[in-house]
Structure 1
Amino acid sequence: MTTVASGSGVGPLLRGWRERRRVSQLELALRADSSARHISFIETGRSRPSEDMILRLAEHLEVPVRECNALLLAAGYAPRYAETPLDDPAMGSLREGMERLLHGYEPYPAVIVDGTYTVVAANRGIAILLEGLPEHLLTPPLNAMRITLHPEGLAPRIRNLREWRGHLLAQMERQIALARSEPLRKLYDEVAAYPLAETGGGLGDVAEPAPHPHFALPLQIEHEGRVLSFVSSISTFNTPMDVTVAELAIETFLPADPATVKYLQSLTP
Structure 2
Amino acid sequence: MDQVKAMLNALRINYLTDFPTHIDELEQLLLELERHGYGLEICRDLYRRVHSLKGSGGTYGLHVLSDICHPFEDLLSHLLENNDLLKENFTEIALLYVDLLRQTHSVYTDGVEPGAEIHRALQGIRKRSTKSSHSALLVESSEVILGLLKDVLSSQGFRIEVVNDGYLALGRVLAEHFDLLITSLETKRLNGLALISAVQKSGARGHKTKTILLTTKQLNIVGEQPDFIIKKDAHLKDKFKEIVLENISS
Give the TM-score band, short-chain normalised. under 0.3
The structure in which a higher percent of residues are helix is: 2
Pair member with larger Rg: 1
* TM-score, with length taken from structure 1: 0.24
